[in-house]
Amino acid sequence: MPEKARIGLDLFGGDNAPNSTLKGAIFALKNNFIDELYLIGGEETLKNDIPQELWSKIKFIKAENSVDNHTKPTEVLKLKNSSIYIGTEMMKNGELDAFVSAGSTGALLAAGTFVTGRIKGIDRPALVIPLPGKGGKPRVLVDGGANAELKPAHFISLAKEGIAFAKFLGIKNPKVHILNIGTEESKGTKLVKEAAEYLTNDPKINYIGFVEGRDIFEKEIDVIVTDGFTGNNTLKTIEGTAYYIMSELKEKIVNGGIFAKLGALLLKKALKGLKASLDYRQYGGTFFLGINGILIKAHGSSDSEAIANALAVANRAVKENIVEKIKDIL
Amino acid sequence: MPEKARIGLDLFGGDNAPNSTLKGAIFALKNNFIDELYLIGGEETLKNDIPQELWSKIKFIKAENSVDNHTKPTEVLKLKNSSIYIGTEMMKNGELDAFVSAGSTGALLAAGTFVTGRIKGIDRPALVIPLPGKGGKPRVLVDGGANAELKPAHFISLAKEGIAFAKFLGIKNPKVHILNIGTEESKGTKLVKEAAEYLTNDPKINYIGFVEGRDIFEKEIDVIVTDGFTGNNTLKTIEGTAYYIMSELKEKIVNGGIFAKLGALLLKKALKGLKASLDYRQYGGTFFLGINGILIKAHGSSDSEAIANALAVANRAVKENIVEKIKDIL
């Protein structure tokens, strides 16, 4: 466990940069969420907006604001002065322990994979997504969308990233399931059937079997492994369904007279919390695991609170050495 | 439009066969949901349980009860005396206009495809699934799980089956979207990108573009085309999310004191209806389109009401000539 976590923050990425991003960083430092901050894309002149007692905890790293959501992912590899390139390069050089950005997902994935580089033994870095579940127990879905197309053997990397992240979330000896359209061995595509063989044969993976979409939220589910296309579609379908249910309930309430309105008022808080917990974009940050460093994508519309949370999570991931957790099971 | 629809009913399939199945059939005949019924697996001795005034509307077709959920789909092709084989064979021979069964999905798909046979010009018969949506407008997802793996060109068959079914649901000039993990042309797998080209180039398909899982329930969506693995997983994820939300709300209510309980009571009906509308298994029957006949899979746990509904839907599909609707756009 490193004594001090060196956290980098991309000052340019996201809809509310740089103002809310800086505000979130100041909040995180003031409340000791983090020890040391590298403001990538920040200049000394920013000091005017930062309380003097925090100056010693901040380093300013010059960078260009040259990546946006229209930048092709691979293009970022040529934009060597961009904040995303510099942040991921500093991780590669051991100058940063973690890098948080609300910038383009595709560019971050490309830079994480090719600039920071993969952990030796990991074929495919991937997005690990925490989901809520019955009884309040979290679960992890991987790949959330980094790799649309995968080969069966890649599921080993995904499973190990998922296991490491599940442990980070406090789940002991995480059980691994592959997402499929049936639980019998004969069900599904060639991809999932062959992937199941790979996971069965790896002694470091506690592979249980297939799980169906209807059982994602059941208590016994810890890690759900799937290709990035299926994973991303599953997350978006969860989100779409939650929004649809809420909007329908709202409609029924509006047309339901005073009693329905009263009922809704009483349930409002519960409904709202649930919707947020099912929108994977609402989390402070999404981990991109499998690279030699901690890369966290904050949501594009992150406000200062979301940025502060993402920095806090990054700090905890460094302290708990999530990268080593993956290496341990390789 | 045929004068009288000849509807076949599998007396053996499903958990509540044959008692509830027969009860549902009697109800459908009594209420003129259907004109003429072929009880596949029924014997003359059943007349004791059927009101005499209905006898003239029923034909009894002997069959063996030899298919269950453990029967391998292709095995049914050898079980020539099974009710599923006989029902699909009678469609092939023009002796039946529609066949309703609550039996094994896999066996029905195999028998529909290989015994009844495909419509000429259709590569891949598929499951078309009606889904609810914002503003009360229905939409259609195809393939709901008949073909786990598909080639891009097969999406043309799927789209046309979906269009025919959307028209059957009252949607005029249905718009077609392909399910993907982004709406930009560059997003997704090779499969969906190439499928998009096929649909763009077919003048009989009103292809709009990609749709994401989060927008499935939006007003402007009519037909969603996807491979059977993604489609089935999407349906099951919708179902799982709906159940999870309901169970969480229930928990919050139980622990929420008297006011939350009151609120819940007032919303109970709305919640229940919503959950049912999002469980694709709750529909009276699922259409398997693309074959030369109307094949409807009733849910395995169908009660008499569900069977009566499935028969009514089958009757309407014959009268509206859904098979011709597909042929018209080939």
Q: Which of A214, A250, A258 to mutate to test the interface with B (most CBs of B within 10 A)?
A: A214
Q: What is the pLDDT of residue A89?
A: 98
Q: Which residue has the higher pLDDT, A43 or A254?
A: A43
pLDDT-flagged residues of chain B (< 50): none
Q: Is B326 part of any domain?
A: no
Domain range enclosing A294: 6-122+290-328
Cβ of A239 within 8 Å of Cβ of B190? The answer is: no
For residue range A36-90, what is the model confidence (pLDDT) as tens digits?
Answer: 999 999 999 999 999 999 999 999 999 999 998 888 888 999 999 999 999 999 9
CA distance A185 to A187: 6
Q: What is the pLDDT of residue B1?
A: 52
Q: Is residue A295 part of a domain?
A: yes
| CB-based contact A212 B134, cutoff 8 Å | no
CA distances, B176 to each of A136, B125, B204 (Å): 39, 17, 11
Q: What is the ipTM of this complex?
A: 0.92
Q: Is there a single domain that holds both residue B295 and residue B195?
A: no
pLDDT at position B276, please?
A: 73
**Burial of B117 from C-beta contacts in 10 A (0-12 / 13-18 / 19+):** middle
Pick the closest to residue A155 from A195, A193, A203 (CA basis): A195
B329 domain residue, yes or no: no
Same domain, B106 and B227: no
Residue A1 inside a domain? The answer is no
Q: Which of B282, B319, B277 is nearest to B300 (CA)?
A: B282
Both A178 and A276 in one domain: the answer is: yes
Percent of chain A at pLDDT > 70 equals 95
Nearest to A241 among B242, B252, B267 (CB): B242
> Under a CB-based contact definition with an 8 Å cutoff, are residues B206 and B175 in contact?
yes
**Looking at per-residue confidence, does A259 or B224 come out higher?**
B224
Q: What is the mean pLDDT of residues A298-315?
A: 91
pLDDT at position A1 is 52
Task: Note the pLDDT tens digit of each residue in B212-247.
Answer: 999 999 999 999 999 999 999 999 999 999 999 888
Same domain for B86 and B171?
A: no
Q: What is the CATH number of the domain that holds A104?
A: 3.40.718.10
User: Which pLDDT score, from 0 to 100, does residue A300 have?
Assistant: 84
Of the candidates B230, B252, B267, the beta carbon closest to that of A260 is on B267
Whether A229 is in a domain gets the answer yes
pLDDT reported for residue B284: 65
Residue B191 lies in a domain: yes
Distance CA A29, CA B300 (A): 59
Mean pLDDT of A231-241: 96
Q: Are residues A227 and A321 in the same domain?
A: no
Of A228, A241, A262, the CB nearest to B238: A241
Confirm whether B32 is domain-assigned: yes
**A118 and A73 housed in the same domain:** yes
For residue A280, the chain B residue with the least C-alpha distance is B214
Q: What's the total number of domains in chain B?
A: 2
- Whether A240 and A109 map to the same domain: the answer is no
Residues A139 and A276 in one domain: yes
Chain A interface mutation, best of B75, B227, B245, B246, highest count of A Cβ atoms under 10 Å: B245
**What pLDDT sits at residue A57?**
96
Chain B residues in contact with A187 (beta carbon < 8 A): 148
Q: Is residue B101 located within the same domain as residue B131?
A: no
* Helical spans, DSSP H, in chain A: 19-30, 83-92, 105-111, 154-168, 190-200, 228-254, 257-277, 304-319, 322-328
Identity of the residue in A230, A239, A264 whose CB atom sits nearest the CB atom of B263:
A264
For residues B84 and B104, give the distance between their C-alpha atoms in angstroms, rounded to a whole number. 9
Q: Looking at chain A, which residue has its C-alpha nearest residue B184?
A: A70
Chain pair A-B, CB pairs under 8 angstroms: 173
pLDDT at residue B281, as a whole number: 61
Residues of chain A with Cβ-Cβ distance to B262 below 8 Å are: 262-263, 266
Q: Do B113 and B150 have their domain in common?
A: no
Token readout for B178 is 């392909």
* B274 chain-A contacts, CB cut-off 8 A: 245, 248-249
Assess whether pLDDT exceeds 80 at residue A162.
yes
Contact B245 A242 (CB under 8 A): yes
Statement to judge: residues B192 and B294 lie in one domain: no
- Name the residue with tokens 């959330």: A144
Mutate: best of A244, A258, A268, A277, partner B, most B CBs <10 A:
A244
B19 assigned to some structural domain: yes
Of the candidates A148, A181, A264, the beta carbon closest to that of B188 is on A148
- Residue B105: its H or E element: helix B105-111
- A211 and A236 fall within a common domain: yes
